[in-house]
Amino acid sequence: MRLFSRKATPRQLELLVWGLVFIFTFLSFLPVDGFGLSAVYTVLNTFFYAVIIYGNIAFLFPRLYQRGQIVLYILVVVVMLSAIGFTRAHLAYWVYNEFFAKTPEPFMTNEIFYYGGSGVIIYLLSFVYRIALAYFGLKRQAEQMQEQKSLAELNLLKSQVQPHFLFNTLNNIYYEAFREAPHTALLIGRLSDIMRYFVDESPKENVSLHTEVKFLENYIALEEIRIRHGVKVSFYQQFEGNPSIPPMLLITFVENIFKHGIDRSAAGNAFGLSLVQQDGFLLFTTENPLPADAPKTSLQGFGLKNLEKRLILLYGDRFELRTTRTASAYQASLKIPLI
């Protein structure tokens, strides 16, 4: 147990304090009372010190004073200190007369006031003790938070090594493939862009709309290679400047199209996207024909439900999310305020 370590816990510091109290109390009795009686008096006094201190800071103060019952708190403290002073005085005399005195000595009433007065001093010191415990507790928490922050930063650096190694490898493959298969090289480049988006952009609170559009285009291009006869995509864009939006708000709609609105083995697949800026809002709309074997149930799965929860957290009631299904087509739209 590292009592003297700078990282000692509040519990270790408590043990250290009580150890010092025990030693100093014992040494104060030793010159007059001898070893045996000093040891017994030290145990008794340390016990009553602990009763006063912990009785106040752990029970009476939080349960009475901090709840506004100040008069009751004062009355209970007075009763507690009086009872402890009375008990300490009689117990000390009984121990001395029973085990150490050659001839019993009469009980002195003024000893009750002596022990009561020392109890008041211990009671006042209990507030200092409470403040010290709180200080060291907060200091320990701050050290732990700093350790966790340093560990998180180290883990972040470690996590960035592999993605950047992969990016560099993909770039090398891209240049090698470009000489033999330019189209394949282009797809590798898109995959590299998507991975970089996940690592660098998705953790941010907001990303530029151009970055988000590029992410959608890369995703669509990679999904297209899995469709035997290709797919016709119409992506209408009309916005000014480069506004920002939270990352990955729009990808759910596109994922749903490839999941529910595309027949990968059939010809003639097509869908349309529209991204329009209107009066401080961004309107994103998707529309796709439904395959003949599309399920009859709603296409609003976990993706859109989770998106709706996220939108509520982001915008409260300042957004519109709508989905419409007909016999042959499915349409979804999202309207959010622009930053």
- Per-residue pLDDT in tens (0 to 9) along the chain, 339 residues: 444 445 667 788 788 889 999 999 999 888 888 898 889 999 999 999 999 999 999 999 999 998 889 999 999 999 999 999 999 989 988 988 888 887 888 888 888 888 888 899 999 999 998 888 888 878 877 877 887 777 766 565 545 445 656 666 777 777 667 777 787 888 888 888 888 888 788 888 899 999 999 999 999 988 888 887 888 999 999 998 889 999 999 999 999 898 888 887 788 889 999 999 998 999 999 999 887 666 665 555 678 888 998 999 899 989 999 999 888 889 999 999 987
Which of 50, 20, 48, 32 has its CA nearest to residue 96?
Answer: 32
Same domain, 20 and 90: yes
Query: What is the H or E stretch that residue 332 is in?
Result: strand 329-337
Is 223 within the bounds of a domain?
A: yes
Same domain, 126 and 197: no
Give the separation between CA 86 and CA 109, rounded to whole angstroms: 9
Provide the 3-class DSSP secondary structure of residue 236. Answer: strand
CATH at residue 319: 3.30.565.10
Is residue 98 left, alpha or beta, with left meaning phi > 0 and alpha meaning psi from -120 to 50?
alpha
Residue 1 has what pLDDT? Answer: 43
Residue 298 has what pLDDT? Answer: 55
Domain end among 109, 131, 151: 151
Same domain, 192 and 137: no
Residue 155 has what pLDDT? Answer: 61
Residue 86 has what pLDDT? Answer: 92
Query: What is the H or E stretch that residue 336 is in?
Result: strand 329-337
Residue 161 has what pLDDT? Answer: 46
Residue 146 has what pLDDT? Answer: 80
Same domain, 271 and 140: no
Residue 286 has what pLDDT? Answer: 95
User: Cα 264 from chain centroid?
Assistant: 43
For residue 287, what are the domain limits? 181-337
Count other Cβ atoms within 10 Å, centred on residue 245. 20
Same domain, 136 and 277: no
How much is the pTM?
Answer: 0.52
Same domain, 14 and 136: yes
The answer to whether 245 and 283 are in contact (CB under 8 A) is no
Give the separation between CA 33 and CA 48, rounded to whole angstroms: 19
The answer to whether 136 and 13 are in contact (CB under 8 A) is yes
